[in-house]
Chains A and B, each alone.
Chain A
C-alpha cells in the first residue's frame, strides 16, 4: 500500500513525478537549486570568468575557513543555541599558531594539534555558563566575542601582523595535493585529483543504490526510478565537472581536502552514530531528550567543544591562507558562518539541519562575494545583496516548513 508512491502510476508521467518530487522535497533541494541558479547567473554576467578553473579553485579555497565554522555552527543551532565568539576565537588562535611557529619555533605538526586542543578547551569554557547556569548562549558567547577580540589584539600588539615563513603550514591554505607521476595523455592533467573524483562518484552511486534497495525491502518511500537516475546523473555530473575543472588547473587544494574531511566526519557522526542522534534529539525536544536518559548538559559541552575546535581549524586555514596572523583576522566570520548555516537549511526552532546543507550555504555565500567581485559590484551593494539572500533563504525555509505541516 505504501509502495504506491514508489512506482510511476502511468507511463510517461516523468514530468509529473519530477514536479511532485521537487514540490515534496523543495526544502531539501532548495539550496542546491539556489546555488545552481547563482552560478549560472554569474557565469552569464561575467562572460564565463566565474566558472574558470582559476576562479572556481579560488572560490573553494575561500569557502574553506567559513565552511568549517558553518559545520560546527549548524550543530550549535540544532541544539537551539548560538555561538558569536567563533570569529575572533579563530583569529586569536590563528595568532597563537603564528606565535608558536615564529616566536617559539615549534614545529607545524605540533602546533596544529595544540591549537585545535586550545580551541576545544575554549568551546568548553563557553559552554560552562550555558550548560551549568542556564545563561543564554547569545550572552555567554558575546562575552567570548569581546574577550577573544581583546586577546587577538594583545597577541598581535607588539609585532603587528605576524608573517609566517613556515612552508608546511602555509601549504594548508595555499598548496595543492601532489600529482601522480604519470606521463603520456595525463601529462597536462592533475591525475590524482581526477582519480579521487572518479572514486568519489563511484562510492556515491554505490551507496545510493544500496540504500535504495534497503528502503524498498523495508517498504519505505523511495524516488521513482526515472527521477532516481536523474538525481544520480545530476550529482555525478556536477562532481565530475568540478573534478575535471580542478584537474585541469592545479588539482585539489589542501583546503578542500580539509573541508571534505570535516564534512565527511561530521556527516557520519550526525547521521550514523548515537551521539549524532542524541544531538538532534536534544534539539528537537530537550525535555523529552532529558527524560529519555540523554544528558542535555553533556551534549551542550560536546557541541560547543567541537565548535571551538573547528574555530581553531578555521583560524589555522585563514592564517595559512594569508601566510600571516593579522590584528583583524576573524572579523565577522561568526556572522558569515551563521548565515551559511541558515541558508543551508538549519532551523532556529532546533532539531533540524544538516552539515552538508551548511557547506552548500557557505558556497552560496562565498559565490555571491566572488561573483559580485568579478562583476565589479561595490562592497556596499554586496552586503545588501547577501542580506537579501539570507532573508530570502530563511523566509523560504519557514514557508516550506509551514506548507509541509
Chain B
C-alpha cells in the first residue's frame, strides 16, 4: 500500500530565460490522493506536463519512475499507454459529439476495421455508472453542464484503464454541489485503487481530501506533508506557499495621501455569453489620483474580465453597473471610448492580444495613438521614429533599432514596448494586468520604478497581479477578488500574504 507508484527525481525544465522547474522531487504513493499546491507560476502545471509527456523526454533533465520502471515519454500517447491520464482545466472534449463517442475518442472499440457502436455504448454506460453520472450516453457534450462534462472526462480516463489520474484545478469552474460530488467520486476511485494527483488552489478542498500534499514554490519542491499525521492545515500550507521573504526587489515607495477619485465602479456585473456564465458580480471599487491599487486573487477569479469590461470590450460581455471617470458617468462601448476617456490597459497576454508580433518596435509603440503622429491621416514617418526612439531611451528597451521585429525581443523588452504604447496615449488611469509575468528580475525592477514615477506624476494605476509579494510590495491599497466578487479591501499596511490568500481562497 505504501509503495510509490510515481517517483520524479531531480526534474529541471528551462524555458528561454526562465527556470520553470529547478531540481524538483515529487513522489506519489500507490492508491493515495496527492494534492499539489503552490502559487501561480510555481511550476505545478509544468511538472504535470513533464509527467504526461507534453514536454517530451530530452526537453527536461531528471528522471521519471512510474510503476517501478524508468519512463521516457515522447508524447502524451506514451504516458497514456502506461496508465497516466491528465484532465486539464480546459476540457478536451468535442462539444458536437455524443458522450459515448467522446469517451472512446482515440480509443475506439473496433470490430475489424469498423467501430462496434453497440459495444461502445454498452461500455460507455458502464463507465458512466462508475463515475455516477446519470446522463444518456447519446446526449451531445455541448448540452451538458461543466460539472457533468468533467465527469465524462473522468469516465474517458477510466475507460483507458487509468492507474494515475491527474486533475488540474478540476473544481475551478464548478459550483459547490458539483465540487462536493466530484471530490466524493475521487474518494471512491481511490478506494478502487486509482491513484490521483489533484492540483488545486482551494485549500479547504485540499485539506478535506488529501492524503498527502506537496508544496511547490518558484519551481522548487518546498515540502511534502502527510495529512494523516496532522501536518496539514490552512495556515501551514499558506506559509509554505508564500513563505519567501519579500526581497529587496521593490523600489522604496512612500504611501502618500491619495488625491480625488478618478475612477469609480459601482455594482459592476458582467455575464460572458461565450463562457456561458456570470464572470463578475456586484463589483464596486474606487481608484484615486496618484495611487497604485493592487487586485489580488487567483487565476480565473475574474480580474482580467473586470479590466476588459471596464476597458470597453463590452461586445464580449453583458454588463450591468455604473462607471464614473473623474466624477462623470461614462458608457465605454469600445476600447477607443476608454482610451478617449483616459484609460489604458496593458494586457495580461502580451503575445496573444498585446502586441502585433509580425510588426516592428516602432509600429507597436505608436499603434494606439497613430493620429497624434498624422497630418490629414498621413503618418509623419520622421515623428514616428523620433517618438519610438524616445521611448526606447527612456524605457531602456534593448533593441538594435526601432525597426526590429518585436518577436525578436525578450519578454521584458516586449513588455516595455507594451508599456510605451500605452504611455504614448497619455492616460490618467493605467490598468496593468500581470505586468511582470514571465520577465526577469532586472526588467521587473525597472517596471516597478517606472510605476512609482508615473504615480508621482499624478497617474493612477490598477495593478492586477497573482504574485503576492508584488501586490504587497507595490500597492497602496489591495482589493482581493474571488469568484467574480471582491472579497476584501485592505490597506497595504494591514495586508499580509496570509490574509490575502485567505480572502482569495474563500
Q: Is B207 in contact with chain A by the CB < 8 A criterion? A: no
A283-312, CB under 8 A of B: which get 1 and which 0? 011011111111100000000000000000
- A278 CA / B358 CA spacing, docked (Å): 14
Say whether A291 contacts B336, CB under 8 Å: no
Say whether B401 contacts A278, CB under 8 Å: no
Q: Point out the residues of chain B lying under 8 angstroms from A2, CB to CB.
A: 400-401
Q: How many A-B pairs fall under 8 Å by CB?
A: 86
Closest Cβ neighbor of B418 among chain A residues = A288
Say whether B363 contacts A351, CB under 8 Å: no
Closest Cβ neighbor of A5 among chain B residues = B400
Q: Point out the residues of chain A lying under 8 angstroms from B379, CB to CB.
A: 272-274, 277
Say whether B385 contacts A289, CB under 8 Å: no
- A344 CA / B389 CA spacing, docked (Å): 32
CB distance from A130 to the nearest CB of B (A): 15
Q: Which of B335, B374, B381, B400 meets A292, CB within 8 Å?
A: B335
Docked complex: B165-184 residues within 8 A CB-CB of A: none
Q: Point out the residues of chain B lying under 8 angstroms from A284, CB to CB.
A: 356-359
Q: Point out the residues of chain A lying under 8 angstroms from B385, CB to CB.
A: 218
Say whether A295 contacts B400, CB under 8 Å: no
- A275 CA / B379 CA spacing, docked (Å): 10
B349-361, CB under 8 A of A: which get 1 and which 0? 0001111111100
Q: Is B345 in contact with chain A by the CB < 8 A criterion? A: yes
Count class of interface residues, chain B: 35 or more
- A292 CA / B374 CA spacing, docked (Å): 17
Q: Point out the residues of chain A lying under 8 angstroms from B87, CB to CB.
A: none
- A166 CA / B382 CA spacing, docked (Å): 48
Chain A binding surface, main DSSP class: helix
Q: Is A133 in contact with chain B by the CB < 8 A criterion? A: no
B38-67, CB under 8 A of A: which get 1 and which 0? 000000000000000000000000000000
CB distance from A274 to the nearest CB of B (A): 5
Q: Is B132 in contact with chain A by the CB < 8 A criterion? A: no
Q: Which of B247-255, B364-372, B440-448 contacts A (4 or more CB under 8 A)?
A: B364-372
Q: Point out the residues of chain B lying under 8 angstroms from A364, CB to CB.
A: none
| Known A274-B377, A277-B379: A289·B356 in contact at CB below 8 Å | yes
Q: Point out the residues of chain B lying under 8 angstroms from A277, CB to CB.
A: 363, 367, 370, 379
- A278 CA / B374 CA spacing, docked (Å): 13
B408-451, CB under 8 A of A: which get 1 and which 0? 00000000000001000000000000000000000000000000
- A352 CA / B359 CA spacing, docked (Å): 9
Q: Point out the residues of chain B lying under 8 angstroms from A289, CB to CB.
A: 356, 367
Say whether A214 contacts B335, CB under 8 Å: no
Q: Is A1 in contact with chain B by the CB < 8 A criterion? A: yes
| Known A274-B379, A292-B368, A292-B421: A285·B401 in contact at CB below 8 Å | no
Q: Is B269 in contact with chain A by the CB < 8 A criterion? A: no
Say whether B382 contacts A274, CB under 8 Å: no
Q: Is A221 in contact with chain B by the CB < 8 A criterion? A: yes
Say whether A273 contacts B377, CB under 8 Å: yes
- Which B residues lie at the A interface, using CB under 8 A? 311, 313, 334-336, 338-339, 345, 347, 352-359, 363, 367-368, 370-371, 374, 377-379, 381-382, 385, 389, 400-403, 421
Since A281-B367, A288-B355 are in contact, a sample of 16 more A-B pairs with Cβ atoms closer than 8 Å, ordered by chain A residue number, is: A1-B400, A218-B385, A220-B403, A274-B371, A274-B377, A281-B359, A281-B363, A284-B357, A285-B355, A288-B347, A289-B367, A290-B353, A292-B335, A292-B367, A294-B336, A295-B336
Q: Which 6 A-B pairs have the closest CB atoms?
A: A287-B353, A293-B336, A284-B356, A292-B368, A2-B400, A293-B339
25 A-B contacts, Cβ less than 8 Å apart?
Answer: A2-B400, A214-B381, A214-B382, A218-B389, A220-B403, A272-B378, A284-B358, A285-B353, A285-B355, A285-B357, A288-B347, A288-B352, A288-B353, A288-B354, A288-B356, A289-B367, A291-B345, A291-B347, A292-B368, A292-B421, A293-B334, A293-B336, A293-B368, A294-B367, A351-B356
